[in-house]
């Protein structure tokens, strides 16, 4: 990793000829560094849209794996080995991110500069405030009962119900997220202006924050119930 | 460059294999005793030499304090990790062990990678003797569930054995490669690998593409301290208890008696895979003979806990692969412990199909390692292996929590970037703690490394350092840091939490020369030079004989020329060239030898006659 890697999007680092190949030099065939300003979508020749054809993604992933995997470069120069390691790790990172619908939205917002995490992750969205308050109380009671060796059966049951309730909310957020994702794709197809796109991204961002909040709640409850 | 081999460095046995160029099939290489299994046992002889394999295994009984087995259990572990094992294994851990365990053999202290390197060197010697060529590169297999430190320790062992470790391959994946080549299977495959000391379950997808076959690992899980050893311990504990009650004899696990009993119980265990009843008879020091009849039923009840412990990882691996047992097309059994009928039955019941056992479960991992070695040597031609990291990689955050940055079962190589900045003015360092594991708190995860990012003094929040965490194709972590504003690479001194540092390895490499036999090529060169010295001397002497005059002129010229080119070759270090020239000179001097022979015979006869007269 310490090998310095020259970054040259259009000129091959090895033969110094101009190259039109994205992965391999069109002139000498050596593996090429990822061009600057590339992103996971570009890596798979995908537009920055949120609906992804999974079959295509998998196929492309396997094709690129054949070419970029370090197994191809055991007997190559240290530079080529380092580039292959970096390229194939980026390919795997991209594949891992894009195949997960939530990670995909996170990533899109990040590269669009529109991902703003909630100022306070502990802060409940206003519409959930009351239920969260109750949930936290039940959780406290359960912890106390556990500590003092008291009866936990009833508490566990009510928490179980609460968990299902929040699971339902998580599903709601996910379906909302899907809906807004479709809007994003429409805006992209319609070549909507920056302001319109920004509006959709703000909604996506808000939903991601809500999702992570609700998900944390569910995980916490599951931990106490386990 | 020398030959490349695949090595299965097992808890109980180790093997070395290669791919035969003619048949394109992998093959295990036999040792001097004709067997392909090399017991993973090392013993230090009184004269300071190292004994490996079957001879060392015999010494477990005669010199237990100079011998060690199952050292794989100690690889990449700290003293606190192995307290439970120490009650069961006769390891003599050096009390001054700190981050890494050191064990005592006789009067010497070794780190586990050194001991493993002796086993690897033995296998290297087997292969070199078999090929008649140097072996300098290897693919070594590790349990899929090995963490970073355990992998690094294995890589270190390879280096200490004089091998360039081209790749660490996960054992179940290697087995899948061997089976894939053998059976041309397609679809989803579950590999259940229960060896001497480790358990792995891997779920793979075998995909045919235009370019060739892809072996894609979807998920993996396991337990790096679960295997046949644990079955032995259950048997031992049971018998120790019986003997304690009936005869009031307490077995110290360090005693020769305990080793003898262990050996007997392993025989009982193996027999119970074939028959329904085995009678154990064991002579006690009080003159009595302990007798107990094991039935398969009682044996299976006794080892049930081990069988059950394998099933939680199996369920987790399937859940992570998002598959149900029914969706698995093929099940493969690997590892000697899967010969146990109750294990075969349990796996068959769970998946609802008969598992594959066609390939020898002891050899299949080594065969797969040879296949991968061949791929690496020749480049990806028609097979590609995509493996995953078994454990999530995380970094410690505020309050001792762990932020996961690379989730488990991510295809490797995989990476993640984290941006760091300072919290106070002129802060010059940021502590980074890297962990591996699934738990939420740093204290419950495996510490991999700690390091300090060095920051030039600046107002708080100004510095921006990006740290890149990369898990390479071996499953080993690499860390690099870069100043985002200046684009400068930071160098990071990563101190492994449980492993040898570079200085340790340097020192051990130096010491290893003490134990190592000479390098193969060096050995060959010395032998070839010795041979040439004797033929040159013999030729010179023969040519000085008056009867050499009987040679024809072309014959004489040929010999003189042969002598000249051999003398030239001896100066160099190409042992093959020297050998060829020796052969040529031998050939050229055949007639000369004949003439002298006749002379000798005649002289002898004449002498006899003279004496008789």
Q: Write out pLDDT tens, residues B87-110.
A: 777 788 887 777 778 898 988 989
How far is CA B545 from its chain centroid? Answer: 57
- Residue B28's pLDDT band (boundaries 50, 70, 90)? very high
Q: How confident is the model over B358-382, as a mean pLDDT?
A: 89
Report CB contact under 8 Å: B411, A92: yes
Compute the residue count for chain B: 613
Predicted confidence (pLDDT) at residue B523 exceeds the cutoff of 70 = no
Predicted confidence (pLDDT) at residue B119 exceeds the cutoff of 90 = yes
pLDDT score, position A63: 92
CA distance A87 to chain B (A): 9
Q: How confident is the model over B500-511, as a mean pLDDT?
A: 73
DSSP for B66-110, written as a single string: GEEE-GGGGTT--GGGGHHHHHHS---B-TT--SS--EEETTEEE
Q: Give chain B positions within 8 Å (CB) of A90.
A: 415
Closest chain B residue by Cα to residue A87:
B413
Q: Both ends of chain B: CA-CA distance in Å?
A: 65
pTM above 0.90, yes or no: no
Predicted confidence (pLDDT) at residue B608 exceeds the cutoff of 50 = no
- Residue B556's pLDDT band (boundaries 50, 70, 90)? very high
Predicted confidence (pLDDT) at residue A84 exceeds the cutoff of 90 = yes
**Chain B: which residues have CB within 8 Å of chain A?**
166-167, 207, 209, 211-212, 214, 216, 375-377, 379-380, 384-386, 407, 410-416, 468, 470-473, 478-480, 489, 491
Question: Does residue B138 or residue B461 have the better pLDDT?
Answer: B138
Report CB contact under 8 Å: B480, A72: no
Gap between the Cα atoms of B194 and B204, Å rounded: 17
Q: Both ends of chain A: CA-CA distance in Å?
A: 42
Catalytic residue annotation of B? 8, 72, 171, 193
ipTM of the prediction: 0.84
The secondary structure element, H or E, covering residue B243 is helix B228-247
Report CB contact under 8 Å: B470, A88: no
Residue A75 forms contact with B (CB below 8 Å): yes
pLDDT score, position A5: 45
Give the pair of three-digit tokens for residue A105. 């939205």
Q: How confident is the model over B599-604, as a mean pLDDT?
A: 58
Residue A3 forms contact with B (CB below 8 Å): no
Question: Does residue A125 or residue A204 have the better pLDDT?
Answer: A204
pLDDT score, position B297: 92
User: Among residues of chain B, what percentage have pLDDT more than 70?
Assistant: 93
Residue of B203, B259, B210, B244 lying closest to B66 (CA atoms): B259
pLDDT score, position B448: 87
Predicted confidence (pLDDT) at residue B438 exceeds the cutoff of 90 = no
Residue A122 forms contact with B (CB below 8 Å): no
Beta bridge partners of B201: B192, B221
Q: How confident is the model over B166-195, as a mean pLDDT?
A: 87
With contact defined as beta carbons under 8 Å apart, do B207 and B237 qualify? no
Residue B200, φ and ψ in degrees, nearest 5: -135, 145
pLDDT score, position B488: 79
Report CB contact under 8 Å: A75, B379: yes
pLDDT tens digits for range A8-66: 447 778 777 777 767 777 777 788 877 666 889 989 989 999 999 999 999 999 999 99
- Residue B184's pLDDT band (boundaries 50, 70, 90)? low
Task: For residue B234, give the 3-state DSSP assignment.
Answer: helix
A window 84-103, beta carbon within 8 A of B: 85-86, 88-90, 92-93, 95-96
pLDDT score, position A4: 44
Gap between the Cα atoms of B5 and B109, Å rounded: 29
Gap between the Cα atoms of B123 and B118, Å rounded: 9
Q: How confident is the model over A132-138, as a mean pLDDT?
A: 80
pLDDT score, position B138: 97
HEC letters along chain A: CCCCCCCCCCECCCCCCECCCCCECCCCCCECCCCCCCCHHHHCCCCCCCCCCHHHHHHHHHHHHHHHCHHHHCCCCHHHHHHHHHHHHHHHHHHHHHCCHHHHHHHHHHHCCCCCCCCCCCCCCHHHHHHHHHHHHHHHHHHHHHHHCCCCHHHHHHHHHHHHHHHHHHHHHHHHHHHHHHHHHHHHHCCCCHHHHHHHHHHHHHHHHHHHHHHHHHHHHHHHHC
pLDDT score, position B493: 66
How far is CA B514 from its chain centroid? Answer: 21
Give me the residue from B207, B376, B385 closest to A62, CB to CB: B207
- Residue A151's pLDDT band (boundaries 50, 70, 90)? confident
pLDDT tens digits for range B472-498: 999 999 888 888 888 778 767 666 677
For testing contact with chain B, the best of A92, A100, A117 (most B CBs within 10 A): A92
Range in A152-161, B150-159, B364-373, B514-523 the model is least confident about:
B514-523
For testing contact with chain A, the best of B212, B320, B413, B419 (most A CBs within 10 A): B413
Closest chain B residue by Cα to residue A93:
B414
User: Among residues of chain A, what percentage have pLDDT more than 90?
Assistant: 36
CA distance A100 to chain B (A): 12
pLDDT score, position B115: 95
Predicted confidence (pLDDT) at residue B573 exceeds the cutoff of 90 = no
Kindly tell me the burial class for residue A71, based on how many C-beta atoms sit within 10 Å of its own C-beta (0-12, 13-18, 19 or more): buried
Q: Give chain A positions within 8 Å (CB) of B173.
A: none
User: How does the average pLDDT of chain B come out, rounded?
Assistant: 87
- Residue A93's pLDDT band (boundaries 50, 70, 90)? very high
């Amino acid at each position: 990793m310490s090998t310095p890697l020259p970054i040259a999007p259009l000129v091959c680092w090895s033969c110094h000829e101009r190259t039109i190949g994205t992965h391999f030099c069109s002139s000498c065939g050596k593996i090429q560094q990822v061009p600057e300003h590339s992103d996971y979508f570009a890596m798979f020749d995908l537009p920055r849209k949120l609906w992804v054809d999974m079959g295509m993604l998998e196929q492309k992933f396997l094709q690129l794996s054949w070419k970029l995997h370090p197994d191809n470069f055991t007997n190559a120069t240290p530079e080529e080995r380092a580039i292959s390691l970096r390229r194939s790790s980026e390919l795997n990172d991209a594949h891992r991110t894009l195949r997960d619908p939530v990670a995909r939205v996170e990533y899109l917002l990040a590269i669009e500069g529109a991902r703003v995490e909630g100022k306070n992750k502990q802060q409940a969205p206003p519409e959930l405030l009351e239920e969260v308050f109750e949930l936290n109380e039940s959780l406290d009671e359960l912890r106390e009962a556990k500590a003092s060796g008291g009866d936990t059966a009833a508490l566990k049951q009510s928490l179980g119900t609460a968990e299902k309730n929040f699971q339902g909310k998580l599903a709601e957020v996910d379906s909302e997220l899907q809906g807004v994702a479709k809007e994003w794709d429409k805006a992209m197809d319609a070549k909507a202006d920056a302001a319109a796109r920004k509006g959709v991204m703000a909604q996506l961002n808000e939903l991601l924050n809500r999702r992570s909040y609700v998900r944390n709640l569910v995980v916490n409850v599951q931990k106490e119930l386990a | 460059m020398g030959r490349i081999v695949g090595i299965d460095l097992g808890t109980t046995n180790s093997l070395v294999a290669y791919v035969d160029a003619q048949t394109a099939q992998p093959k295990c290489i036999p040792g001097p005793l004709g067997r392909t299994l090399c017991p993973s046992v090392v013993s230090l002889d009184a004269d300071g030499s190292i004994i490996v394999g079957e001879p060392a295994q015999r010494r477990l009984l005669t010199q237990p304090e100079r011998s060690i087995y199952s050292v794989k259990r100690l690889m990449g572990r700290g003293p606190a990790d192995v307290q439970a094992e120490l009650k069961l294994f006769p390891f003599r851990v050096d009390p001054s062990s700190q981050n890494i365990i050191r064990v005592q053999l006789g009067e010497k202290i070794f780190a586990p990678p050194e001991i493993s390197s002796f086993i690897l060197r033995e296998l290297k010697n087997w292969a070199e003797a078999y090929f008649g060529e140097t072996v300098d590169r290897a693919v070594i297999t590790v349990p899929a569930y090995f963490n970073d430190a355990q992998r690094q320790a294995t890589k270190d062992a390879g280096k200490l054995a004089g091998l360039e470790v081209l790749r660490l391959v996960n054992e179940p994946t290697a087995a899948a490669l061997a089976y894939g080549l053998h059976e041309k299977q397609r679809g989803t495959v579950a590999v259940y690998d229960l060896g001497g000391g480790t358990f792995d379950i891997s779920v793979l997808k075998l995909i045919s593409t235009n370019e060739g076959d892809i072996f894609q690992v979807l998920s993996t899980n396991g337990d790096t301290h679960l295997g046949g050893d644990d079955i032995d311990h259950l048997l031992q504990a049971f018998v120790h208890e019986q003997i304690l009650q009936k005869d009031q004899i307490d077995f110290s696990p360090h005693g020769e008696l305990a080793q003898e009993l262990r050996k007997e119980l392993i025989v009982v265990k193996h027999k119970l895979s074939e028959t329904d009843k085995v009678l154990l008879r064991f002579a006690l020091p009080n003159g009595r003979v302990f007798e107990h009849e094991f039935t398969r039923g009682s044996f299976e009840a006794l080892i049930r806990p081990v069988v059950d412990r394998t099933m939680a990882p199996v369920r987790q691996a399937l859940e992570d692969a998002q598959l149900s047992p029914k969706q698995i097309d093929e099940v493969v059994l690997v590892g000697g412990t899967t010969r146990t009928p109750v294990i075969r039955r349990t796996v068959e019941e769970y998946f609802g199909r008969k598992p594959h056992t066609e390939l020898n479960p002891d050899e299949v991992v080594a065969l797969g390692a040879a296949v991968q070695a061949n791929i690496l040597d020749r480049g990806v031609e028609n097979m590609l292996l995509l493996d995953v990291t078994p454990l999530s990689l995380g970094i410690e955050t505020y309050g001792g929590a762990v932020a996961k940055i690379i989730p488990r079962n991510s295809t490797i190589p995989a990476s993640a970037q984290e941006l760091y900045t300072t919290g106070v003015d002129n802060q010059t360092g940021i502590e980074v703690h890297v962990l591996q594991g699934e738990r939420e708190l740093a204290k419950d995860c495996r510490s991999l490394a700690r390091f300090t990012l060095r920051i030039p003094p600046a107002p708080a929040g100004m510095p921006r350092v990006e740290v890149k965490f990369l898990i390479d194709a071996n499953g080993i972590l690499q860390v690099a840091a870069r100043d985002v504003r200046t684009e400068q690479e930071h160098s990071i001194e990563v101190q492994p939490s449980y492993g040898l540092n570079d200085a340790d390895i340097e020192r051990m490499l130096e010491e290893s020369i003490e134990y190592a036999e000479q390098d193969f090529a060096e050995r060959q060169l010395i032998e070839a030079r010795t041979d040439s010295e004797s033929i040159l001397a013999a030729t010179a002497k023969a040519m000085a004989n008056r009867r050499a005059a009987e040679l024809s002129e072309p014959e004489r010229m040929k010999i003189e020329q042969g002598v000249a080119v051999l003398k030239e070759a001896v100066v160099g270090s190409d042992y093959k060239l020297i050998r060829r020239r020796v052969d040529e000179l031998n050939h050229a001097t055949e007639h000369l030898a004949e003439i002298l022979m006749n002379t000798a015979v005649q002289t002898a006869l004449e002498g006899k006659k003279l004496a008789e007269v």
